[in-house]
A = this chain, B = another copy of it.
Amino acid sequence: MENKNYTELSSLGEFGLIDHLTRHIELKNKSTLKGVGDDAAVLDYGEKKILMSTDMLIQGIHFDLTYTPLKHLGYKAVASNVSDICAMNGIPRQITVSLAVSNHFSVESIEELYAGIYLACDHYGVDLVGGDTTSSKTGMCISITILGEAYAEDIVYRNTAKENQLLCVSGDLGAAYMGLQLLEREKAVFAGQPENSQPDFTGYEYILERQLKPEARIDIIKLLKEKNIRPTAMIDISDGLASEIMHICKDSQVGCTIYEEKIPIDYQTYKMAEELNLNATVCALSGGEDYELLFTAPLDLYDKLTALESVSVIGHTCKASAGYTLITRDGNSFELKAQGWVNFNKPETKD
């Protein structure tokens, strides 16, 4: 097959590739004094505090290039880092991107990846200020470090929830996981099919987008600030709701009760879960990569919070000794575990 758009990575060399990938960067933040092009980036912060976080994505572990377009992958890699800054109630500012790729990738494919990275940078107002590009023996590895800023008094930690506060989440949960299940199913179905056949994702566009191009909820951070709502503790939901709730509760030494009926789940997530014979609530509790925000807030903000379309109050904190409880739709209590809840069957305590 003819392929005009194929340039060997090796034809550029390492410095050539970095130049090639970064020559069009336009710095957006006053605080970026010096971006790519020297040994280190130079950043100017005044009174503000710096937030720094990092994530590594490995081919075959975090993404499958069979069904993940590289542009989406680049976007998601940035979004997941931005999400960490949001989870501190900060504003994302700069990232560095380190990339290892084997020579099997073409320059164009790496450009696609960076197109997604830059798209996300534009969307979130972030500057790419440095990085490293290297070869790998096998597969692709992406490591992103992000800096954000916030006034000290605005920063929200995980360990500052108090007893008897509201537990809230943004958006809806479980969709990214169901999108992944759908992609995996179609991959299995289409293995060995003729090259031009295309899986049909009609009616599942939302869960696919949640998996392939998730957004960090910087809009929620801005909305809460606008409404004068300051979370008392916060975390982003990258590993599933249950695991993140337990992070906040353990670090804050409180317990919690959450209500199954309050957990926000999209229609497509329900529909896909039903098709695959999965429990949608378990998917919301244990499925990762939603990148929504989980936060606590004082009880007296209940009316303000329930008035927000993109926020759900799903329960409340309580004494640590009361443990972590999930109340199901039919009124049963389960102990919440990091992976869904303790028992997928009907509990012994009722009927």
Contacts and interface: CB of A to CB of B under 8 A. Distances in A.
A49 B61 contact: no
Contacts of A251: 37
A58 B136 contact: yes
Given A40-B88, A61-B135, A141-B58, A52 B130 contact: yes
Contact of A51 (B41, B45, B136, B145): B41
Given A40-B84, A42-B49, 10 more contacts: A39-B88, A39-B158, A45-B50, A56-B99, A56-B132, A58-B141, A61-B135, A137-B138, A138-B139, A141-B143
B55 A157 contact: no
A147 interface: yes
Nearest to A139: B137
Main secondary structure of the interface of A (DSSP, over half): strand
Most buried by B among A41, A52, A152: A52
A50 B53 CA distance: 15
A323 B308 CA distance: 65
A61 B136 CA distance: 7
Given A38-B158, A98-B143, A49 B62 contact: no
A33 interface: yes
Interface string A85-112: 1011010001010111000000000000
B39 A87 contact: yes
The bracket for how many chain A residues form the interface is 35 or more
Given A134-B61, A141-B100, A157-B34, A52 B41 contact: yes
Contacts of A235: 39
Interface of A: 33-34, 37-45, 49-56, 58-62, 84-85, 87-88, 90, 94, 96, 98-100, 129-132, 134-139, 141, 143, 145-148, 152, 155, 157-159, 235-236, 251
A145 B148 contact: no
B130 A98 contact: no
Contacts of A34: 157
A88 B130 CA distance: 14
A44 B49 contact: yes
A38 B157 contact: yes
Given A39-B236, A87-B39, A141 B141 contact: yes
A84 B131 CA distance: 12
